[in-house]
Amino acid sequence: MKFIAIQGEKGSYSEIAAKSYFGKKIEISNSFSFKELFDKVKRKNVDYGLIPIENSLYGSVLDSLDLLQKNSLKIVGEINLQITHNLLSTKKYKSSQIESIYSHPQALAQCSVFLDSLKNVKLIPSYDTAGSSKNLRENNQGKKAIIASKEAASIYGLKIIKSNIQNKKKNFTRFLVISNKPINPKIKRPKSSISIELKSIPGALHKALSVFALREIDLVKIESRPLPDKPFQYLFYIDFIGNLKDQNIKQALKHLKEISISIKIFGTYEFGKFIYN
Amino acid sequence: MKFIAIQGEKGSYSEIAAKSYFGKKIEISNSFSFKELFDKVKRKNVDYGLIPIENSLYGSVLDSLDLLQKNSLKIVGEINLQITHNLLSTKKYKSSQIESIYSHPQALAQCSVFLDSLKNVKLIPSYDTAGSSKNLRENNQGKKAIIASKEAASIYGLKIIKSNIQNKKKNFTRFLVISNKPINPKIKRPKSSISIELKSIPGALHKALSVFALREIDLVKIESRPLPDKPFQYLFYIDFIGNLKDQNIKQALKHLKEISISIKIFGTYEFGKFIYN
């Protein structure tokens, strides 16, 4: 039995992702915040943590990125989950009757087209989608609704008022599996992640990307995040194709060190599968 | 008299930034959302809009970035405002007595160290810092507090329970001034902004940055945002030093077009001053 920390309640998208990645025989440790989740993994209260890192419509989950940098945990896996949002309530109201809608800010943003079409509805950001279902069940007053998964509807006994309310059908959230130590399985389609703080020299980022381009290492993603002590200077998160054990990647990182103030290596893992639901 | 649209209420940081940039003789048009603000500028209901684009601790304001891309407005100015957050309430409570705190999610994040030190306090994200002050004044029940500017305290008659509660003293928000058309003043320290969607070719981003590096054009910032119709592919926002009228920059953009699917040009403007308070 594996113990997996996620952020959110039963029926959350993180739980669906965890079951898709590890299979159903896992014990989930629900966490209120990402910080609590990272702490559980660091203290080895759980075997792994699973965090949302990026949504294909809304972009990176900034808290997850920042906590990866602050903590010295390794990325050991990845999974991409198709997200289908649904409007749920305790009774079978019409969408037009609903007075207020609770959900996670990212879920509200991913359904903005549908939500904009409703008149006089109050949108209330809350800490997670499934947690909102639980609150709705417990404080059942007025014509309130939430946005969550179909799984949350069945767990909390809610009616589906409208299904598939997300802006785009192609809506995926990428989750990372994090652990105390790197894994060493056979990796067929390896992907690696690092972060770098570059020296303040002209063309620094161009030079850093040359390190990869010169060796024909393909970048998958680059994301900048602020350096808190240096206003308007940045840390770069870079995902690339390849295994940290490969000779050309070892050379690339050696080269990168020459032009960096610091490099953090998160690990090599298998490219995430896409799970449709 | 100039008419300026901002997001938020009287006493918001956006209002302080607008007065710092344009002087006090302006008429402010308060907007509930960024979308409403952009619409006012597009329909010429106002002369300019002023939007927060980036905080030096927490990073980019994603809604502002995405609306810049969706709308065809120009960036005509910039200002950097030092942000000092304060815990405010209707009575002179002690910090430890406060039961719930309302503020904008970015303000809550910027004060996370102080907030983590409080026990059993409920943090409630709300649509803006000054708007929370107004609500607190109007629904005065329980030991509630908000995080906002000193200006908001004086406008809404609130007591300062604790001042300067942000994580770092070096906390700046960068605001952009947007308009229907580019300006053409004499610009001493020019900065320009564009966004590009690159072709899916190996080393595409490296090639794009070469366009600047080859001409010794300094990049100030690069930020990636998801392309909604292409999961896990990205649009890049690039800020660089120089005027779009300069010959080397014209050449650079011509070169960039060869490797891009699309380029959007937001304009040239004066590097933002730093305003301390």
Q: Is the pLDDT of residue A163 over 90?
A: yes
Question: Alpha-carbon distance A255 to A166, whole Å?
Answer: 44
Number of structural domains chain A divides into: 3
At A208, the pLDDT band (50, 70, 90 cuts) reads very high
Say which of B125, B171, B223 has its CB closest to residue A125.
B125
Residue B17 resides in a domain? yes
Q: Mark whether B78 and B176 lie in a shared domain.
A: yes
- Whether residues B252 and B121 share a domain: the answer is no
Domain match, A200 and A267 both: yes
Q: Are B158 and B90 in contact (CB under 8 A)?
A: yes
Pairing of strands B86-89, B159-162: antiparallel
Higher pLDDT, B104 or B137: B104
Return the pLDDT at A125.
Answer: 72
Strands B122-125 and B260-270: unpaired
Least confident interval from A42-56, B113-127, B229-243: B113-127
| Whether the predicted pLDDT of B105 surpasses 80 | no
**One domain, residues B54 and B176:** yes
> What per-residue confidence (pLDDT) applies to B58?
84
> Of residues A43 and B10, which shows the higher confidence score?
A43
Shared domain check, A177 and A78: yes
Q: Which of B167, B213, B231 sits opposite A203 (nearest CB)?
A: B213
User: What pLDDT is stored for residue B109 in this prediction?
Assistant: 84
Helices (H), B177-243: 204-213
At B45, is the secondary structure helix, strand, or coil?
A: coil
Does B206 reside within a domain? Answer: yes
CATH of the domain at A151: 3.40.190.10
**Chain-chain contact of A223 with B228 (C-beta, under 8 angstroms):** no
pLDDT at A272 over 90: yes
Q: What are phi and psi of B217, to 5 degrees?
A: -90, 125
Residue A189 has pLDDT above 80, yes or no: yes
pLDDT of A62 > 90? The answer is: no
Q: How many CB pairs under 8 A join A and B?
A: 105
If you average pLDDT over residues B30-45, what whole number do you get?
A: 94
Residue in B56, B105, B225 closest to A226 by CB: B56
Q: Mean of the pLDDT values across residues A130-157?
A: 78
- Mean per-residue pLDDT over chain B, rounded: 91
User: Given this model, what pLDDT does residue B141 score?
Assistant: 65
Q: Clarify whether residues B145 and B259 are in a common domain.
A: no
**pLDDT value for A123:** 84
Out of B105, B210, B222, closest to residue A224 by CB: B222
Q: What is the pLDDT of residue A18?
A: 97
Longest dimension (CA), chain A: 63
Q: What's the whole-number mean pLDDT along residues A174-202?
A: 91
Which residues, other chains included, contact A237 with Cβ-Cβ below 8 Å and sequence gap of 6+?
A: A65, A68, A69, A193, A194, A195, A221, A222, A223, A224, A225
- pLDDT for the residue A265: 96
Domain identity same for B223 and B99: no
* Chain B partners within 8 Å of A62 (Cβ): 58-59
Predicted confidence at residue B42, as pLDDT, reads 97
Position A128 pLDDT exceeds 70:
no
Beta bridge partners of B223: B237
Regarding whether B118 and B158 lie in a shared domain, the answer is yes
The per-residue pLDDT for B186 is 83
- Rank A128-137, B126-135, B229-238 by mean pLDDT and report only the highest: B229-238
Q: Which of B32, B39, B60 to mutate to test the interface with A (most CBs of A within 10 A)?
A: B60
Whether B218 and A229 lie within 8 Å, measured CB to CB: no
pLDDT score of B269 more than 90: yes
* Residues of B classed as catalytic: 173, 175
* Given the residues A22, A175, A236, A266, the one annotated as active site: A175
Among B132, B149, B183, identify where a domain stops: B183
Residue A107 lies in a domain: yes
Residue A50 phi, psi dihedral angles, 5° rounding: -130, 120
> Do A222 and B205 count as a contact with CB atoms less than 8 A apart?
yes
pLDDT of residue B169: 86
The answer to whether A224 and A234 are in contact (CB under 8 A) is yes
Residues 6+ apart with CB under 8 A from A260: A196, A197, A198, A199, A208
- DSSP SS3 for B29: strand
**Which candidate, B201, B210, B258, places its Cα nearest to that of B238?**
B210
ipTM of the complex: 0.85
Neighbours of B3 (CB within 10 A): 15
Tell if the CB–CB gap between A216 and B202 is shorter than 8 Å: yes
d(CA A91, CA B3): 46
In a domain, B276, yes or no: no
Task: Flag whether pLDDT at A205 surpasses 80.
Answer: yes
- Say which DSSP state B85 is in: -
Percentage with pLDDT > 70 across chain B:
95
Lowest mean pLDDT among A151-160, A219-228, B263-272: A151-160
Place of tokens 């940055």: B209
If 0-12 CB within 10 Å is exposed, 13-18 middle and 19+ buried, where does residue A3 land? middle
Query: Phi and psi dihedrals of A250, rounded to 5?
Result: -55, -45
Characterize the bridge pairing of strands A273-275 and A74-82: parallel
Same structural domain for residues A179 and A207? no
B73 and B98, same structural domain?
no
pLDDT surpasses 70 at B265: yes
Cα diameter, chain B: 63
Indicate whether B158 belongs to any domain.
Answer: yes
- Do strands B2-7 and B48-55 pair parallel, antiparallel, or not at all (unpaired)? parallel
pLDDT at B191 over 90: yes
Contact A202 B218 (CB under 8 A): yes
Contact B226 A54 (CB under 8 A): yes
Instruction: Report the phi/psi class of residue A211: left, alpha or beta, with left for phi > 0 and alpha for psi in -120 to 50.
Output: alpha
The pLDDT, as a whole number, for residue B108 is 87
Same domain flag for A16 and A64: yes
Within 8 A of B123 by CB-CB distance, chain A residues are none
Among residues A209, A262, A264, A263, which one has the least CA distance to residue A240?
A209
pLDDT at residue A227 greater than cutoff 80: yes
State pTM to two decimals: 0.88
Please indicate whether, in this complex, the C-beta atoms of A172 and B232 are within 8 angstroms of each other.
yes
Using a CB-CB cut-off of 8 Å, the residues of chain A touching B202 are 216, 218
Residue B277 within any structural domain of the chain: no
Residue B133 lies in a domain: yes
Are residues A136 and A70 part of one domain? Answer: no
β B230-241/B260-270 pair status: unpaired
Portion of chain A with pLDDT greater than 90, in percent: 67
Calculate mean pLDDT across residues A225-233: 91
Contact at CB, B57 and A226, closer than 8 angstroms: yes
Confidence check: pLDDT of A82 > 80: yes
Is residue A66 assigned to a domain? yes
Measured distance CA(B242)–CA(B269) in Å, rounded: 9
**Residue B193 — pLDDT band, cuts 50, 70, 90?**
very high
DSSP sequence for chain A: -EEEEEES-TT-HHHHHHHHHH-S-EEEEEESSHHHHHHHHHTTSSSEEEEEEEETTTEE-HHHHHHHHHS--EEEEEEEEE---EEEESS---GGG--EEEE-HHHHHHTHHHHHHSSSPEEEE-S-HHHHHHHHHHS--SSEEEEE-HHHHHHHT-EEEES--SS-S--EEEEEEEESS------SSEEEEEEEEE-S-TTHHHHHHHHHHTTTPPEEEEEEEE-TTSTT-EEEEEEEES-TTSHHHHHHHHHHHHTEEEEEEEEEEEPPEEE--
Is residue A129's pLDDT more than 90? no
Per the model's pLDDT, the better-predicted residue between A112 and B29 turns out to be B29
| Å between A1 CA and nearest CA of chain B | 33
Of A62, A205, A219, the CB nearest to B59: A62
Question: Looking at A8-12, A55-59, B53-57, B94-98, which range is the least confident one?
Answer: A8-12
CB B29 within 8 Å of CB B5: yes
From A90, A129, A173, A268, the catalytic residue: A173
Residue B115 phi/psi, 5-degree rounding, is -65, -35
Q: Is residue B128 pLDDT above 70, yes or no?
A: no
Residues of chain B contacting residue A171, judged by C-beta atoms under 8 Å apart: 231
- The edge-to-edge listing of strands for the beta sheet with B144-148 is B122-125, B100-103, B144-148, B86-89, B159-162
- Average pLDDT estimate for B135-149: 77
Q: For chain A, give the mean pLDDT.
A: 91
Name which of A125-139, B233-247, B255-269 the model is least confident about: A125-139
Give the pLDDT score at B93: 92
How far apart are the two ends of chain B, measured CA to CA in Å? 25
Which H or E element spans position B48?
strand B48-55
Question: Which structural domain, as residue segments, surrounds residue A107?
Answer: 86-162
Q: What pLDDT score does A238 carry? A: 97
Q: Predicted confidence band at A138 (pLDDT cuts at 50, 70, 90)? A: low
The CATH number of residue B245's host domain is 3.30.70.260
